[in-house]
């Protein structure tokens, strides 16, 4: 076991000893949350409880409550699983992206020295102004709350990781789906090849990894939508609170990315 793991284990042991009831509550919530990915290998246990999933574990009570307030969590979604109005917004965004050549031409120029780049046009409902301006991305949407583009340089990938919150679902749309099996996203137990379908919608708190094993740049629209629920305004309120709490710290969540302005 790594020294870092031993330190975290010692901290957990102290918390369990000092706060046994709260600890038991968190252990139960964590186990319920962890089993959703159906990845039970030792490395994934360590990743969730002692690695980059520890924030997801910390937020598991809130995420489980969110599951109760929303429609059944499918984990991985087809577009037709979503409400008609949400489908309409996503199709509109896909059409806008497909017909906006500046996205590829401008962003490709800025990736010479970068491994992974990210540009945001909207973040948790707040419009973001960049040197690359696409006004259509700033229109008010009912479901779409984050709009960005992630760019991977040649032979780059993320770590295997968990997203923190289930207020939203992640929508990824590959703008240049090359015929290459080495360009994919793996979420839970599913490997999704972009050339099979450029659209992938999933619960970001499932364990996942994005891979570009090619010698070409990989461009994906990076979109968050509110989860389908009868309490959509409540989910929007929760999201606005989260935005207010972490807006000064959002660099922490994208510390391994070069932010493009």
Q: Do 53 and 122 sit in the same domain of this protein?
A: no
Using N-to-C axis directions, what is the helix angle for 42-50 and 3-18, rounded to 10°? 60
Is the pLDDT score of 253 beyond 70? no
User: Is residue 210 packed enough to be buried (19+ CB in 10 Å), middle (13-18) or exposed (0-12)?
Assistant: buried
Instruction: Tell me the C-alpha distance between 99 and 175, whole Å.
Output: 10
Q: Do 224 and 119 sit in the same domain of this protein?
A: yes
Q: What is the pLDDT of residue 259?
A: 82
Nearest to 165 by CA among 122, 227, 230: 227
Q: What is the CATH number of the domain that holds 240?
A: 2.60.120.330
Instruction: Tell me the C-alpha distance between 155 and 176, whole Å.
Output: 16
Q: Taking all residues of the chain, what is their mean pLDDT, rounded to a whole number?
A: 90
Q: What is the pLDDT of residue 64?
A: 96
Instruction: Tell me the C-alpha distance between 258 and 188, whole Å.
Output: 26
Nearest to 150 by CA among 99, 223, 85: 223
Q: Do 37 and 98 sit in the same domain of this protein?
A: no
CA distances (Å), origin 61, targets 3, 27, 125: 28, 10, 24
Tell me if 63 is assigned to some domain. no
Do you know the residue count of the chain? 261
For 253, the token pair is 């969540």
Instruction: Tell me the C-alpha distance between 157 and 188, whole Å.
Output: 16
DSSP per-residue string spanning 125-170: TEE---SS--GGGGS--SSEEEEEEEEE-TTEEPPSB--S--SEEE
Q: Do 22 and 130 sit in the same domain of this protein?
A: no
Question: Phi/psi of residue 220, each to 5°?
Answer: -135, 130
Q: Do 156 and 255 sit in the same domain of this protein?
A: yes
Q: Do 110 and 194 sit in the same domain of this protein?
A: yes
Give the number of domains in the chain.
2
Q: Do 106 and 46 sit in the same domain of this protein?
A: no
Q: Do 131 and 203 sit in the same domain of this protein?
A: yes
Tell me if 136 is assigned to some domain. yes
Q: Do 124 and 180 sit in the same domain of this protein?
A: yes
Count CB neighbours of 29 within 10 A: 19
Tell me if 244 is assigned to some domain. yes
**The tokens 């980059």 sit on which residue?**
52
> Cα 58 from chain centroid?
17
pTM above 0.75, yes or no: yes
Q: Do 8 and 49 sit in the same domain of this protein?
A: yes
Tell me if 69 is assigned to some domain. no
Q: Do 193 and 220 sit in the same domain of this protein?
A: yes
The pLDDT tens digits of the residues spanning 78-124 come to: 999 999 999 999 999 999 999 988 899 888 888 888 899 999 999 99
Instruction: Tell me the C-alpha distance between 193 and 80, whole Å.
Output: 19
Tell me if 80 is assigned to some domain. yes
Q: What is the pLDDT of residue 35?
A: 93
Tell me if 68 is assigned to some domain. no
Tell me if 38 is assigned to some domain. yes
Residue 11 sits in which domain range? 3-58
The pLDDT tens digits of the residues spanning 48-74 come to: 988 889 899 999 999 999 999 999 999
Tell me if 253 is assigned to some domain. yes
Q: What is the pLDDT of residue 23?
A: 82
Q: Do 184 and 114 sit in the same domain of this protein?
A: yes
CA distances (Å), origin 139, targets 65, 74, 117, 127, 241: 30, 28, 24, 9, 21
> Cα 162 from chain centroid?
8
């Amino acid at each position: 076991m790594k020294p870092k793991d031993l330190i975290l284990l010692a901290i957990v042991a102290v918390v369990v000893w000092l706060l046994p009831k709260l600890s038991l509550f968190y252990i139960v919530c964590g186990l319920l949350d962890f089993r959703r990915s159906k990845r039970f290998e030792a490395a994934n246990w360590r990743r969730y409880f002692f690695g980059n999933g520890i924030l997801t574990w910390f937020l598991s009570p809130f995420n489980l409550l969110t599951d109760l307030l929303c429609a059944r969590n499918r984990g991985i979604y087809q577009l037709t699983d979503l409400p008609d109005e949400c489908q309409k917004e996503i199709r509109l965004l896909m059409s806008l992206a497909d017909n906006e050549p500046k996205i590829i031409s401008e962003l490709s120029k800025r990736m010479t020295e970068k491994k992974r780049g990210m540009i945001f046009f909207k973040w948790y409902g707040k419009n973001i102004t960049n040197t690359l301006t696409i006004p259509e991305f700033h229109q008010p949407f009912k479901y779409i709350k984050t709009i960005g583009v992630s760019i991977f340089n040649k032979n780059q990938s993320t770590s295997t990781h968990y997203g923190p919150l289930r207020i939203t679902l992640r929508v990824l749309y590959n703008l240049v789906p090359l015929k290459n099996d080495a360009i994919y996203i793996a979420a839970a137990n599913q490997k999704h090849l972009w050339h099979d379908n450029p659209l992938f919608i999933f619960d970001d708190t499932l364990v996942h990894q994005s891979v570009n094993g090619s010698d070409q740049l990989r461009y994906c629209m990076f979109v968050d939508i509110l989860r389908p629920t009868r309490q959509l305004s409540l989910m929007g309120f929760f999201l606005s609170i989260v935005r207010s709490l972490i807006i000064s710290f959002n660099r922490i969540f994208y510390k391994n990315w070069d932010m493009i302005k």
